[in-house]
Amino acid sequence: MRALLGTVLPLSIVFCVLLSAPASQAGQAALPMRSWDQILEADLFTGFERVIEQEAAERVYTYFLTDPAGTPVLSILVALSPAGTHLTEAGHASATRGLAPEVLARDFPDFGARARVEAPFFSPSGGLTGLVFTTSDLLFDVRVSVFEASSDVDRPALTALEAARIVEDAYLATFE
Amino acid sequence: MSDVLKEYPVEQVHRWYHRLADAVLARKVDGNDPLSGQFLKKYLENRSRTATYTFTPPVYFRSSAEVVQALRFHRRVFLTEERARLGGGLRWAGLIPRLKDGRWDGQSRLSLHYESLVEYGGTPIDIARIQLRGTPAEQDLFTSLRGFQLRSDIAVTGAAQGSQVLVTFQSWQAVGIDTYDFNFDEYLTMPNPDYQSQDGDAIRPDLQSFRVFHTNAQRMETANLAQPYGVRVGPWPVADPNVTGRALIDPNKRLP
């Protein structure tokens, strides 16, 4: 398949969805997990191949962008869990209290209901950025991680924040 | 997307990279400064292209599954249980060929070394696992030492035991070896450490992130504000009994 994609497209993109356990009762009641599959498939990266697996606790969508040789150059991971799994209102308030505005903007960006930056790491060969946020409707915690290998291959300019924005926008659009 | 840093004087770009390193170093990894931040800082401080710097190997590096697996592989190579990867091929190495050709008498102290490539996140599945389940320590190793040479320097003695030789590892030192350098043709996207900064030296504080073209590393190197260098993480003494435990070898083992 990778060879086929490499032939048809300048870049092959493999979209893996690793599914885990049932989400929060609140999340399930508000939006079945299957709908998340539709949100991401329809709106996030159109045309990507998607593979679904189901295991335990978390619902995880991983996108790989590889160069024609099959080397990963971009990996976007989106993990869904019930709100409160990674962020709580009280914890967020405590962590952000007294921070300088630029530190607040850098480490706890104004995003969704609340958000926290989890990385970054930087090296000549690649960078890793991470963000966890609670959806604006307070139903889900969404963990987004973006690994980008240094490369000259044309690709979207994304950090975890931009990827999270795409996810949040797609999610909110389902309620419009 | 345009090269934001290109528009700024190289000295200011150099200071921006320092702030990027500070942003990485702001988050401790198991109580340590992350290697990725330490490496970048050293690059920005280095002025000699021939320099090699030694970094203290954090426990999370020494005990990482990849390093432990590589050391166990080294043991099998030294004991001639598995072929060594040498010169692009596989061939028998270690103690038994030396017993066969007389380079070792099976008793006296013998020093050997071997090194092999270690990779963190070698496959897309590995990368996804590190992103999803990886600890900050794993993520730091993945981005700082994604692929490096692990070298083992050992000393052994032997004692006859029937037709076999009982091998004792008298010492075992390991060190991670890499080069910190940039491919100037490449780029990646990073968060802007100056986002919303009020400092007059800040670069594009209106942007949360932008593409970092490694041509800017080239600019810094040309201005001798930074230079590539050799990396040595360690050495450290290996104490894992699964690596350094005694072993029996058969001098007459056939080596097809």
Q: Does B4 touch chain A (CB under 8 A)?
A: no
Structural contact between residues A59 and A142, judged by C-beta atoms closer than 8 angstroms: no
A72: contact with B, CB 8 A cutoff: yes
* pLDDT value, residue A68: 79
Q: What does the pLDDT read at residue A12?
A: 38
Q: Return the pLDDT at B27.
A: 87
Query: Cβ B121–A152 below 8 Å, yes or no?
Result: no
Rounded-to-integer distance, Cα B216 and Cα B201, Å: 17
∠ CA B106-B110-B115, nearest 5°, is 120
Rounded Cα distance between A116 and A118, Å, is 6
Residue at B131: amino acid letter: Q
Q: What ipTM goes with this model?
A: 0.84
What are the per-10-residue average pLDDT scores of chain B (256 residues)? 94 98 92 96 98 97 96 98 93 97 97 96 83 89 94 98 97 98 95 92 95 97 98 97 97 94
The amino acid that residue B50 corresponds to is T
Interface with chain B: mutation pick from A118, A121, A131, highest number of B CBs within 10 Å? A121
For B39, the 3-state DSSP assignment is: helix
- The whole-angstrom separation of Cα B68 and Cα B242 is 9
pLDDT of residue A1: 31
- Among A105, A121, A152, beta carbon nearest to B24: A121
* The pLDDT of residue B184: 97
List Cβ neighbours of B225 (8 Å cut-off, separation of 6 or more).
B10, B11, B14, B44
pLDDT tens, residue order, chain A (176 aa): 333 333 333 333 333 333 333 334 444 444 555 577 777 764 465 545 455 555 556 788 888 887 778 777 888 888 888 899 899 999 999 999 999 887 888 889 999 999 999 878 999 999 999 999 999 999 889 999 999 999 998 888 889 999 999 899 888 888 76
Residue B190 is nearest to which of A14, A106, A120, comparing CB atoms?
A: A120
Token pair listed for B234 = 């360690």
Asked if B38 has any chain A CB less than 8 Å from its own CB, the reply is no
